Structure formats: C-alpha cells, structure tokens
Amino acid sequence: MTESSISKAQEYLEKAYKLQMDGNYEEAIKNYKLSIEFFPTAEAHTFLGWAYSFLGDLDRAIDECKVAIEIDPDYGNPYNDIGSYLIQQGAYDEAITWLELALKAKRYESYQYAHLNLGRAYELKGLWFEALSEYREAIRLAPKYDLAKKLYYTLQGKLN
C-alpha cells in the first residue's frame, strides 16, 4: 500500500462518516466501499456495517463486522456492534458472547457501550441484577452517559 492509497482511503472514510451522520446512508455506503478499495481497515468495515444496520440489513452489518475482526481482532467496536445487532434480532445468548469479547478487546475506547449492551441483553433475558450491574459499570466509565442512567433507574424502579 502506498501512502497515497492510505490517504485516499482516509478521505473516503471521513466523507462516508459525515454522510452517514447526515442520514445519507446509501451515499455513505458507497464511500465506505471506496475507502475499503483503497485500503481496507477494521474501522471502514465496522462503519460500513453500521450504515447497513441503519437500513435494517443486520445480517450484512454483522458480516461487515466479522470482516473487521479478521483485519484487526484487537479492535473492540465490531464485537460490540455484532452484539447490538444480535440483540435487535432477539439472539440474546449469542449477543452476550460477542459483548464479552468486546470487553476483552485491547483496542477499544468505549467499553461503556459494551457494558450497556450487555445490560440490555441480560435485562431482556430477565437477569435483572446482572443487567443493573452492567448499567452501573457503564455509568462508572462514562458518568454523563444518559441512556445508561435511564436504563439503570428504570430497571431499578421496576425492582422496587
């Protein structure tokens, strides 16, 4: 790979991300694919999967995350994302496995998301105390994480 290819890949990745944040998922997907053509990264595949998830194509989103893991097994985001997509599909036990892998990932800056999703999976399985523990850990890691607080206090209220 040349430095030029890597630079072009980064350019398309940034453009794709902006398009996705603006809700332009189809154009974002095209740009993520262009980024991957120039230089495939775990990030580009993970974000491509994320874009597919917004279009409701969770199987394709999971496939992209698995490619990301092949490229960089230490990158935590795709493990968490797979767990999140599996929760949406109702596969809670399988989701828990992937979320636990996210928590073991060496290169992951947002462990609170994996804790929150693990809490969601536990809550949906009726494992309320385990869920509370995961929500609490998400809040400990990110004190301003409002969704974690909301889920924690809502579940705590149901148990009182």
- Give pLDDT < 50 ranges for the chain: none
Note the pLDDT of residue 31: 97
Q: Residues 54-85: pLDDT tens digits?
A: 999 999 999 999 999 999 999 999 999 999 99
Task: Assess contact for 68 and 49: CB atoms under 8 A.
Answer: yes
Note the pLDDT of residue 24: 96
Note the pLDDT of residue 158: 93
Q: How far apart are CA 157 and CA 155, in angstroms?
A: 5
Task: Assess contact for 117 and 95: CB atoms under 8 A.
Answer: yes
Note the pLDDT of residue 1: 64
Kind and range of the H or E element at 41?
Answer: none
CA distances from 29 to 72, 75, 83, 105, 115 (A): 21, 21, 21, 26, 28
In sequence order, what DSSP letters do the residues of 87-152 get, joined into one string? Answer: HHTT-HHHHHHHHHHHHH-SB-S-HHHHHHHHHHHHHHTT-HHHHHHHHHHHHHH-TT-HHHHHHH
Structural domains in the chain, CATH included, are: 1-72 (1.25.40.10), 92-160 (1.25.40.10)
